[in-house]
Each structure stands twice: as C-alpha cells, then as structure tokens.
Amino acid sequence: MWGNRSGTEPKNAKSPLRVRAGLAAVALPLALAATIFFVYRAVATGESVWTVEAVISAAVAVTAAIDLVVIRRRMGNRQ
C-alpha cells in the first residue's frame, strides 16, 4: 500500500522557509517599533500596563530575530 507510491510529492515539495522568513522580517521591525512606543508610554504615564505591553512586544521581537537566524542557517544548508 505505502510502497507503491505513484505521486511526485518529494520532487515537488516546497519548503515554507521563505514564507516564515517573510513573516519574521515583517514582525521584527513592527515589534521593535511597538516596544519603543510602549516603553515611551510606560515612562511618560507611569502605568504598569504599558510595561507589560513592552515586555510582550519585546518577546515577539526576540522570537522573530531568533527565527530569522534559524531560517538563514537552514536555508544555507539546503542544496
């Protein structure tokens, strides 16, 4: 059953790395801008909600940056 494959899936399979790279490349500057804005608001108003927002957006920025590094490494290893 599984050994008699007639499809061309392995030959036509496409990697999602370029899409992930695009999403991370958009998310990184947006998250950095949001972090700067939220830090500014936290300092200006003194409200703790802006600090929480800044931490969350900074975490998104760090995640996007790490993802870009991983994607670059994986795309470099492809043949």
Kindly report, residue by residue over 27-72, the tens digit of the pLDDT.
Answer: 999 999 999 999 999 999 999 999 999 999 999 999 999 999 999 9
User: Residue 12 has what pLDDT?
Assistant: 65
| Domain residue limits at 56 | 33-78
User: Residue 67 has what pLDDT?
Assistant: 96
Instruction: Please count the CA atoms within 13 angstroms of the CA of 57 that sit on its side-chain side.
Output: 19
CB 62 within 8 Å of CB 28: no
Residue 14 lies in a domain: no
Residue 15 lies in a domain: no
Residue 5 lies in a domain: no
What's the total number of domains in the chain? 1
For the whole model, what pTM was predicted?
A: 0.78
User: Residue 37 has what pLDDT?
Assistant: 98
Residue 60 lies in a domain: yes
